[in-house]
A = this chain, B = another copy of it.
Amino acid sequence: MHVLITGAAGFLGQRLTRTLLERGEVNGKVLTRLTLIDQVAPVPPSDDTVRLDCRAMDITRPGALDSLLGERPEAIYHLAAVVSAAAEADLDLGMTVNFDATRSLLEGCRAAGLAETRLIMASSVAVYGGELPDTLDDMTALTPQSSYGTQKAMCELLINDYSRRGLVDGCVLRLPTIVVRPGKPNAAASSFASSILREPLNGEAAVCPVPTDLDLFVMSPGRVIDALLHAATLPGEALAPYRSVMLPGLTVSVAAMLEVLREVGGEEALARVSHEPDPRIEAIVASWPARFETRRAERLGFAGDRDFHEIVRTFIAEQTAS
């Protein structure tokens, strides 16, 4: 089994790589080859059982991926993207990276005849927005209120059409906000959702830019990786007629997240969070819905986190182990 990952140097890409190598198989087939690409070459993980190919590549260059696709990867994880706040700040950059590169990837699959290749794209809760019902499901209209959400929604449509036409075997996972991400803050509008836990637990200060009564729809990194791996195992017929799935996140308010921080890290941890409203961040994040009926995802075998305590405890355990 040859797996290709775009955006492999990113947080999800690195963790997916590590987990793939640990498991050594995908959908019952032995993992024999892993191609990792990103703007900067991904650091090769130490592994001598798999043929590893780490490349720096600008996937926005038309045809950039064509020669790799000619080697017929059997699963492609398309994780490369410009995050929400950056796509909002620069429309052209977002369109080029988030939309045009995905279209090029699909065209490359079509040209290489990769009808049987499972193409898995990470989409986002940001495809939703505007005047929404209290609880959403996979049949709620995508009326995004950000350019990032717009670009992801366009990619979803295209992946579905190319799959329907039998040009590729696509699957789109709409990811909840991932909490708690390890590492540093990034340009995503949702970056604070990890910062307000990670930094205080590590003895550092963090800023909460949104009102604490704001609800988020969240999933832990571990459950997201599980979902990405599970997506490689589902037959196309199970996903048809529409191959976009909202993953089963947890609905949790910022206040409830901070309460778990207090319980786990104590008052001194909670005191490290200062509240500085940022209307630009709030406008984006508040447009994302937080309540979903995800029975379809569960029927397809995707699983979420049990509760927010578990998410935070797992984060601490993973940080200690690494």
On A, residues with C-beta under 8 Å from B are: 91, 129-133, 138-145, 147, 150, 153-154, 157-158, 160-161, 164-165, 241-242
Contact = CB atoms under 8 A, between A and B. Distances in A.
A150 B157 CA distance: 6
Contacts of A241: 129-131, 143, 145
Contact of A147 (B132, B147, B161): B161
Given A157-B150, A158-B154, A241-B131, A164 B142 contact: no
Contacts of A150: 157-158, 160-161
Contact of A141 (B140, B144, B161, B165): B140
Nearest to A240: B130
B164 A145 contact: yes
A58 B289 CA distance: 41
Taken together, the copies of this chain in the complex come to 2
A129 B132 CA distance: 21
A242 B130 contact: yes
A56 B141 CA distance: 37
A161 B140 CA distance: 18
A91 B165 contact: yes
Contacts of A160: 143-144, 150
Contact of A165 (B130, B147, B158, B165): B147
A145 B161 CA distance: 7
A165 to B, nearest CB: 7
Given A130-B241, A131-B241, A241-B131, A142 B157 contact: yes
A135 B238 CA distance: 24
Contacts of A153: 157
Given A154-B158, A160-B150, A139 B140 contact: yes
A241 B149 CA distance: 14
Contacts of A131: 241-242
